[in-house]
Amino acid sequence: VWGPYRVVRLLGRGGMGEVYEAEQLETGRRLALKVLRHTLRGAEDRARFLREGQLAASISHPHTVYIFGSEEIGGAPPITMELLSGGTLKDRVSVDGPMPPSDAVSAVLDIIGGLDAAQAAGILHRDVKPSNCFVDADGTVKVGDFGLSISTLTRDVRHELAAAGFEGTPQFAAPEQLRGEPLDVRSDIYAVGATLYYLLTGRPPLDAPGLRALVSKVVSENPGSPRARRGDIPRKLAAVVLRCLAKAPAGRPQSYAELADLLRPYVAAGEVPSPPGPRLVAWIADSVIVSMLTWLLASSAWAAGSATTMLRLSAWSWLASVIYYLVLEGSWHASLGKRLMGLRVTSNLDDRWWLRVGLRTALFHVPTVIPALFIGAARAPGVVYTANTPPGGWSWNVPPEALSSVLLTPLLFSIARRRNGWLGVHEWLSGTRVVERNVPRRV
């Protein structure tokens, strides 16, 4: 127990303080307490710590961490703030890996909303990074930790690197901030771009083992495209990220509104990745439909007295499935089974839709086509293969190519995980995915 609070656990440490989960004894409310570190108890440090609380408390926005206030407990000035249970964006990437592009953009749009509100209040954050962006229980992302923030309404915004030493995180800081030059909103926009780069790739745009080498890199070297590290990132989205990371502030988006307009096309509004269950039901329905179509064609050929045509249809039955998926998913973005389950095929990439659908369809049918071709080639021409029914009665004669398809198709989904949106190998290679339609999604 510390003053009016019961301290539950340590949540994290920053440059100026430690943050604890705590319970307010009088009300039972859970909140977060930020306490000034023991090594920073001088008058100047104390004033700066309290100024952080004052600046953050002057912002009231759904995408900034809400500050209840500050008080005096045992000679220490804790800042009380809302408790966010989802950790930080850095935590999420550390556990689940890089985020899907639409999720990363959605998170950054939340960040932009909070920073835009801070700018309207005359506050420059100066330390935007994944570990300072917190996730609420419902997935909302909120900007916090205004420990390095300054008010643009009271004095010239200048950070003297040579005199005070760099304060912040160099991997996410703009070149002009590292050089100690005057800052404006475009410096925080650089940090937003670096944060988006990290969410998409799991790595900062530039990195080096030592501070001096890192500062030199950020000031003088251009980062590589995030597509070089992850090919399913849309080209135009990668271009927006690199524009945010321009060395000169004039080359970046000039406002949060401009940046938000550039990013909104990459948010999959109304779409979420489909889990395996609905996809399995859709596949079963499509398989029944394709089998019925093949049977109808074969029956028509038999009725017309064309046994040769019927045998060809039987040997090339997989072709009906290929045409079925290619035509329907290429034209309508969904086979009949997917439409029945409210699913559709889409892509985060920008162009060549038919090529992507064609590659997706071909890869999906590899477990059926390749064994069929090899087995067909191994059979002697002109020989009819039949199953001998055992004297005991029933037997189940499964064609070898059908059995190989059943055994090999699950390998396509060996990489499917919740964190990658249940992508199969054929989807990863073709840049496509299956999503649920008409699902409300926060933007």
DSSP classification of residue 140: -
Please, what is the end-to-end C-alpha distance for the chain in angstroms? 40
CB-based contact 214:170 (threshold 8 Å): yes
Q: Cα separations (Å) of 365 from 294, 330, 401, 406, 412?
A: 16, 16, 12, 11, 10
Separation CA 303–CA 297 (nearest Å): 10
CB-based contact 132:144 (threshold 8 Å): yes
Active-site residue (options: 127, 145, 188, 286) = 127
Separation CA 67–CA 199 (nearest Å): 26
Tokens 């080498």 sit on residue: 213
CA dihedral 201, 202, 203, 205 (to 10 degrees): 40
Around Cβ 350, how many Cβ atoms within 10 Å? 13
What sign does the CA torsion over 103, 105, 111, 116 have?
negative
User: Closest Cα to residue 14, out of 157, 149, 152, 200?
Assistant: 149
91 is catalytic: no
Q: Cα separations (Å) of 152 from 66, 122, 260, 361, 385?
A: 21, 5, 22, 56, 84
User: Closest Cα to residue 189, out of 177, 206, 207, 202?
Assistant: 177
DSSP H helices, 245-348, are 256-263, 276-303, 307-315, 317-332, 336-340
- Point out the residues that are catalytic: 127
